[in-house]
Structure 1
């Protein structure tokens, strides 16, 4: 989701004459924190922009392009950079910039547990459960009985399939 802070950076980029493309790297199923999916979606969106940009937006047929992401976007960009040589070797990406990177989901969850940002773990767990059915099965088993109903009800409300 684009935040007001992001708009300042996007506006500055547009005033430089840059084209901007943003990807729904979490998929319609809201699979946040699923690195491989995020990386593939980011690279696929670059492919689409390069395929259709020259004819529909007067984009150069051989533009210089880079990836940029912060926080959840950094996760997508870092996975895209790691996967690019094998998944999209035809893409000549000039560079990648990331900030606020989530380097290790386990470490993040342990750090935020019981604190003011602990609700972020919910989003991570839901994203992983939607992408990996064995994790969803484990999660259902691991949650305390009184939390299961609340957890899965919120999941259905916030992230419909």
Structure 2
């Protein structure tokens, strides 16, 4: 598996989720299975089936996070020296050329992406259009409604 880019904050969130899964969710699932077993016949025990399904989900997520952390390339945007270029971890102030509205996005890994927080995945069409560009450049983004143009106002590494 190749290295997965992750910001420092993204890695911390993954570690916190992993800790919660191992210390809270896993014991909770085990207790739910034990409780359901105490009810008797397992062949028609919906509680037991649900508890086993939950345990399977928790164990799968633990393995997934452990794999991601093992293959993570943790990038601290504050330590980047990209000479004003749009790179992974950078925060960009953009202006929509059609509407004149301003927006800020940080380019992050897939697990960290949350448009409500202004974090876009490195694999998103807008991030792919912005990577490598500088402040003052215009990026053309293929959106569902057609091509949109954004001017890069400022590139920050925070």
TM-score range, shorter chain: under 0.3
Give the TM-score taking structure 2 as reference length.
Answer: 0.27
Tell me which protein shows more strand as a share of its residues.
Answer: 2
Larger Rg: 2
